[in-house]
């Protein structure tokens, strides 16, 4: 690695694309992103259109509201640029295969760029409420999920959480090779991620593993008081799937829903969304 550092602060998507194009022309060896999950999403989304081949290594200096990716990589909140550069010189890195989402039917304000890594959660109001309550970084994910469970257990029978939202979900089943699952029904929650370690130690997808993982819960949720602790703890209990708590391993799935959704802490309107694994990225780690 050379000792030259190019530092910029783009303020629009157009500026970001121009900056990354300039970086690519300079042949940078390391792309450092200072920010949270939303900033990382924006940068890697734009970078995917600039580097059509192998991307440079990526280092993260966490400073945003949610830093789930930094947590997954074992990067502490106080990690600095100097530490990231030192780790890059030492060659410390880990490869992650991020998720990639693309909306296929847009409202005018919906971003059209592919998302290189993300989580999709039903309940656009919950994530925003968690941030307003002061729950940032990894805690926001736990607060949002906990609030959804509380609203379901103690809210009105006619409440939106129990009723769920209608979703059409289609995917190739990895557990049953060659079978295509195609369902159209009301769902309580859809949670998808390529992270191997979730905030607060929760394990909604079961045992830690690579790849795109999805938790899909039918609505209204059955036996939630008994199921919720098992889901959070990553229990492999077989009855959970029969009760409507489906853990899915698939490289891609198509989802269509009218309700809004949250991706990396940002709220998007409903519509058709394709979620799939993207090309591996090498991240610098401590």
Q: Note the pLDDT of residue 247.
A: 92
Could you report the per-residue pLDDT of 210-224, keeping only the tens digit for each?
888 889 999 888 888
Confidence at residue 101, expressed as pLDDT on a 0 to 100 scale: 57
Q: What per-residue confidence (pLDDT) applies to 113?
A: 35
- DSSP element (H, E) containing 1: none
Task: Tell whether the torsion through CA atoms of 156, 161, 167 and 171 is positive or negative.
Answer: negative
Whose structure tokens read 């090779």?
177
C-alpha span between 264 and 267 (Å, rounded) = 9
252 sits in which H/E element: strand 252-257
Name the residue ranges covered by the structural domains of the chain.
Answer: 13-97, 100-279
Reported as type and span, the H/E element at residue 40 is helix 37-50
Q: Does 128 score more than 70 pLDDT?
A: no
Give pLDDT tens digits for 140-182.
555 555 666 666 665 555 556 667 788 899 888 666 555 678 8
Q: What is the mean pLDDT of residues 70-74?
A: 86
Confidence class of residue 34 from pLDDT cuts 50, 70 and 90?
very high
- Can you give the pLDDT at residue 136? 37
The third-level CATH classification (topology) of the domain covering 13-97 is Rossmann fold (3.40.50)
pLDDT given for residue 31 in this prediction: 94
Give the lowest-confidence range in 73-77, 220-224, 262-266: 262-266
Categorize the per-residue pLDDT at 87 as very low, low, confident or very high, splitting at 50, 70 and 90: very high
Locus of tokens 């900056």: 19
pLDDT(204) > 80: yes
Query: Taking a C-beta distance cutoff of 8 angstroms, is the pair 119, 98 a contact?
Result: no
Give Cβ neighbours of residue 268 (< 8 Å, ≥ 6 apart). Answer: 103, 110, 111, 124, 260, 261, 262
Mean pLDDT taken over the chain: 77
Residue 73 has pLDDT above 70, yes or no: yes
Average pLDDT over residues 125-145: 45
Instruction: State yes or no: pLDDT of 123 exceeds 60.
Output: no
- Which residue did the predictor score with more confidence, 239 or 2? 239
The structure tokens 């997808």 sit at: 205
Q: How far apart are alpha carbons 232 and 209 in whole angstroms? A: 16
Contact by Cβ (8 Å): 225, 153: yes
Q: How many percent of the chain have pLDDT more than 70?
A: 72
Residue 186: both structure tokens together: 């009301």
Give the right CATH number for 100-279 from 2.115.10.20, 3.40.50.150, 1.20.1050.10, 2.60.200.40: 2.60.200.40
Residue 284 has pLDDT above 90, yes or no: yes
- pLDDT score of 2 more than 70: no
Share of the chain above pLDDT 90, in %: 22
pLDDT of 137 reads 43
Structure-token pair, residue 51: 């580097």
């Amino acid at each position: 690695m050379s000792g030259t550092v190019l530092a910029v602060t783009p303020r629009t998507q157009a500026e970001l694309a121009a900056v990354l194009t300039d970086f690519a022309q300079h042949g940078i060896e390391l792309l450092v992103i200072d920010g949270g999950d939303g900033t990382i999403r924006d940068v890697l989304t734009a970078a995917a259109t600039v580097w059509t081949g192998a991307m440079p290594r990526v280092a993260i200096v966490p400073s945003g509201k949610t830093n789930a990716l930094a947590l997954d990589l074992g990067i502490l909140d106080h990690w600095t640029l100097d530490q990231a550069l030192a780790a890059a010189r030492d060659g410390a890195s880990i490869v992650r295969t991020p998720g990639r989402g693309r909306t296929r039917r847009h409202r005018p304000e919906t971003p059209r760029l592919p998302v290189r890594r993300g989580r999709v959660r039903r309940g656009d109001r919950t994530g925003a409420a968690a941030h307003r309550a002061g729950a940032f970084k990894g805690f926001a994910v736990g607060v949002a999920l906990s609030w959804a469970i509380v609203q379901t257990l103690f809210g009105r029978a006619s409440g939106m959480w129990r009723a769920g939202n209608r979703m059409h979900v289609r995917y190739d089943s990895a557990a049953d090779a060659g079978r295509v699952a195609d369902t159209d029904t009301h769902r309580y929650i859809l949670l998808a991620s390529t992270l191997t370690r979730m905030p607060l130690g929760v394990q909604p997808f079961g045992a830690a593993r690579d790849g795109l993982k999805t938790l899909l819960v039918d609505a209204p949720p059955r036996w939630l008081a008994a199921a919720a602790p098992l889901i959070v703890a990553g229990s492999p209990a077989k009855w959970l799937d029969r009760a409507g708590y489906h853990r899915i391993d698939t490289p891609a799935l198509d989802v269509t829903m009218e309700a809004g959704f949250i991706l990396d802490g940002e709220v998007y309107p409903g519509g058709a969304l394709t979620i799939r694994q993207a090309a591996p990225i090498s991240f610098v780690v401590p």
